[in-house]
Amino acid sequence: MSLRERIGSSVALLAGDKQADRAVPPTGFTARLTVFTSAAMAFLAVFVLALSLTAGRVADRWTEQLAQTSTLRISAPDGQIDAQVRAALRVLETTPGVAGARALSDEEQRALLAPWFGPDLPVESLPIPRLIEITETDGGYDTTGLRARLQAEVPGALLDDHARWRAPLVKAAERLRALGFAAVILIAGATAAMITLAAQAALAANAQVIRVMRLVGAKDSYIAGAFVRRFTLRAFFGSTVGVAVSGVAVWLLPELDVAGGILEGIGLSGAEWLWIAAIPILASVVAFAATRAAALRTLGRHS
């Protein structure tokens, strides 16, 4: 069967017919089980996705900041400071992993200090450390090695790789994102397993119905269709309810804006809501495949 025919026959299966659906009596128990399972799993999936997408955003932002800069602070007695700055720049030029280094001008330093001391600070005449901005390459430099060289050649230098402490956090956030997606896959798998069990229970409960339909000339696909339609619709309905409830819950989560956006409120933004909207569709696809497989397997056995 070509993919197109396959999709065509799947759509036809779902479109279905009312009479076939009447032939299989409703089984309240499996119906409620499927709706409940789908709703619960969709609810969980939304939270996991929100967490995972948030972690991803945090990781991305921190990675961006990491790639930027570190600073070298040089404090020395008045006469030696320029010499030390030049020495430090020489060291940095020959350090692998350093893309560029630049001493901040007096104006830039004044601008940095302005919030604390006002705009008229006489930077030149104060014993203020000089700052060198270091841009790293993607690979980054070896902090310990650079510290050692600086200690030998530029005694007044202090390397501040302020962004580096975040590296393990970025890794953790990235891992959290990966775990989140793995959890979504597990949730889909668990949903498939539970729907398979519910479908099998329904098929077993309807063994006599299946027998009669067979005797009057029903094909396997027709009988399977009645079950598949039912379970797909139930999964869609259940997961829509689950998504709606958890979507509202996520939306109502308080926004966190701690430490200038280093931490991030758990939640969803913009296009990420589309992921959530996809959950009922995913649940329906899972239910469709699980029920169809269960039905065809069961029907194959009772030949």
Partner 1 sequence: MIELERAAYSYGGGELFTDVTLTLAPGSFHFLTGPSGAGKTTLLKLCYGELIATAGHVRLFGENTRKMDRDRIAMNRRRIGVVHQDCQFLDHLPISENVALPLTVAGRSEEADAYLGELLAWVGLTRQAQQLPPELSGGERQRAALARAIILSPDVILADEPTGNIDWEMSQRLLSLLVELNKLGKTVLVATHDMALIRAAKAQISARVLRLKDRKIQAAEVDL
Question: Are 176 and 52 within 8 A, CB to CB?
Answer: yes
CB of 251 to partner 1, least distance (A): 44
Task: Identify the CA nearest to 182 among candidates 48, 13, 12, 61.
Answer: 48
Q: Cα(77)–Cα(155) distance, rounded to whole angstroms?
A: 11
Give least dist CB 195 to partner 1, A.
24
Binding string, 187-226, against partner 1, x = CB under 8 A?
----------------------x-xxxxxxxxxxxx----
Q: What angle do CA 204, 297, 292 make, to 5 degrees?
A: 90
Under rule CB under 8 A, how many of the chain's residues touch partner 1?
A: 21
The beta-strand segments (E) located in 43-193 are 69-74, 98-103, 130-136, 157-160
Nearer residue to partner 1 within complex by CB, 19 or 94: 19
Taking the least distance from each CB to partner 1, the nearer of 1 and 271 is 1
Examine residue 111 and tell whether it contacts partner 1 (CB under 8 A): no
Instruction: Please tell me the distance from the alpha carbon of residue 74 to that of residue 81, in angstroms, as a whole number.
Output: 7
Site for partner 1 in 270-299 (CB under 8 A): 299
| Residue among 34, 288, 38 nearest 187 (CA) | 38
When the beta carbons of 123 and 210 are compared against partner 1, the nearer one is 210
Strand order in the sheet with 98-103: 98-103, 130-136, 69-74, 157-160
Minimum distance from residue 32 beta carbon to partner 1 (Å): 19
Nearer to partner 1, 25 or 189 (CB): 25
Residue 61 or 214: which CB sits closer to partner 1?
Answer: 214
Q: Between residues 20 and 188, which has the closer beta carbon with respect to partner 1?
A: 20
One character per residue 8-27, x = contact with partner 1 (rule: CB under 8 A)? ---------x-xx-xx-x--
Query: In this complex, which beta carbon is closest to partner 1, that of residue 125 or of residue 208?
Result: 208
Phi, psi of 101 (to 5 degrees): -145, 140
Partners of 135 in the beta sheet? 69, 100
Minimum CB–partner distance for residue 300 and partner 1 (Å): 8
As a whole number of angstroms, the distance between CA 270 and CA 42 comes to 20
Cα–Cα distance, 99 to 137 (Å, whole number): 5
Q: How far is the CB of 52 from partner 1 (least distance, A)?
A: 45
Contact code string over 231-270 relative to partner 1, x by CB under 8 A? ----------------------------------------
Residues near partner 1 (CB under 8 A) are: 17, 19-20, 22-23, 25, 209, 211-222, 299, 303
